[in-house]
Amino acid sequence: MSDKNFDSVVISSRIRLARNFGDLPFPCKLTDERAFSSVMKRVFDKLKPLGDFKIFTMEALSFESRNVMFEKHLISKNLIEEPNFSAVILSANEEIAIMLNEEDHIREQCILNGFKLREAYEKLSRLDDEILKLGNIAFDEELGFLTACPSNLGTAMRASIMLFLPALSMLGKSGEVQDVARTLGLTVRGVMGEGSKAEGYMFQISNQVSLGSSEEEIIRRVENVVARICEIELEAREELLRQNEIEIKDICLRAFGVLSSSFRMTSAEFNELIGKVKLGQALGFIKFKNPQLPLSLSKIVQPYTLMEVSQKNLDGIMRDIFRAEYLRKTLDGAIEI
């Protein structure tokens, strides 16, 4: 992996592990409340001594609360749409999320800010070691861990990196990301995972299959591909500036102006504008007093999270008006002039 600084390109790193109990039907067939309660108790009792964990059953949460968790990347859409017999265990800092009875009995994940795949794997591996001690985890000597989806057989590990690629997108070269990833068996998705769009110039890179590769091989492959994509993005930013630095600076500053002064702001418009503002930050055109502010705003002003902040049940228009008001107040005096 390159020793270059990719902080302005890599947003976060995620490791996910899938595990199933060999003595229970897979979740798609597990509709017995006693069996589901057994899964919850076995896993939660094992993790509780290891840290500050809390468990949430999906049935006990409102539709809105489940969507807030989804926007934070803590649960999948499956748990929003099918809350029966499912739950999530969260660490206090929400770096660790363990979904129960999603596609698999246990879906463990660790998400860390920055280029930290190995650190995320080490954190999650310590918990996974304890889960494996529960016994009777479905495993085959040839196929590895048995999972609901064949693509997760083997180590049953998915290693993902979230990337911010504005220059490649603006130059119409985002196809190069697909090409680089595909050559080594990786896949490219949008910000919310499979089936989603690359909003705000955000792309997710991950391994497609885990059978036939060790955890170390998967991590190294993803790291190498991501490092190459980061280098291509940084080169593309230099090309943007060479082509027309004045225009790019104007685009970025205008985006900040609209974000900080609008009366109404949709999610789609915010995602587009914040991407341009973050590019301006990366290129040194915009200097935030708190450099993490654009990233935190991207999380807070998503539809359901924003309603949680407002503590009101807002319809679409009122939510857009509240989003704009929140942005005006937050961005007022936020940059160094």
Give the per-residue pLDDT at 195. Answer: 47
* Buried b or exposed e, range 95-106, using 16+ CB within 10 angstroms: ebbbbbbbbbbb
Give the per-residue pLDDT at 198. Answer: 63
Q: Return the DSSP state at 69.
A: H
3-state secondary structure of 193: strand
Q: How far apart, in whole angstroms, are the C-alpha atoms of residue 216 and residue 61?
A: 37
3-state secondary structure of 66: helix
- Report the amino acid identity of residue 196: S
Give the per-residue pLDDT at 177. Answer: 85
Rg (the chain; Cα; Å): 21
- Among candidate residues 67, 68, 125, the one with its CA nearest the CA of residue 96: 125
Q: How far apart, in whole angstroms, are the C-alpha atoms of residue 9 and residue 80?
A: 30
Q: How far apart, in whole angstroms, are the C-alpha atoms of residue 101 and residue 116?
A: 27
Give the per-residue pLDDT at 242. Answer: 95
Give the per-residue pLDDT at 276. Answer: 96
- Please give the helix or strand (H or E) that residue 75 lies within, else none: none
DSSP E strands in the chain: the ranges are 10-19, 53-57, 87-91, 96-100, 106-113, 139-140, 144-145, 157-164, 186-189, 202-207
What is the residue-level pLDDT of the chain in tens, covering all 337 positions?
Answer: 444 689 999 999 999 999 999 888 777 767 778 888 888 888 999 888 888 999 999 999 999 999 999 999 999 998 998 888 899 999 999 999 999 999 999 999 999 999 999 999 999 999 999 999 988 899 999 999 999 988 889 999 999 999 999 999 999 988 888 888 888 788 888 765 554 456 789 999 999 888 889 999 999 999 999 999 999 999 999 999 999 999 999 999 999 999 999 999 999 999 999 999 999 999 999 999 999 999 999 999 999 999 999 988 889 899 999 999 999 999 999 999 6
Give the per-residue pLDDT at 3. Answer: 47
Give the per-residue pLDDT at 85. Answer: 87
Task: Give φ, ψ of 19 to 5 degrees.
Answer: -140, 150
Q: Return the DSSP state at 108.
A: E
Q: How far apart, in whole angstroms, are the C-alpha atoms of residue 41 and residue 106?
A: 12
Give the per-residue pLDDT at 174. Answer: 83
Specify whether the CB–CB gap between 136 and 21 falls below 8 A: yes
- Among candidate residues 205, 212, 209, the one with its CA nearest the CA of residue 228: 205
Q: How far apart, in whole angstroms, are the C-alpha atoms of residue 233 and residue 130?
A: 40
3-state secondary structure of 146: coil
Angle, to 10 degrees, between the axis of helix 63-71 and the axis of helix 303-310? 120
Centroid of chain to Cα 151: 20
- Report the amino acid identity of residue 85: F
Question: Residue 258 is encoded by which pair of tokens?
Answer: 């609209």
Specify whether the CB–CB gap between 310 and 302 falls below 8 A: no
Give the per-residue pLDDT at 200. Answer: 84
Centroid of chain to Cα 162: 7
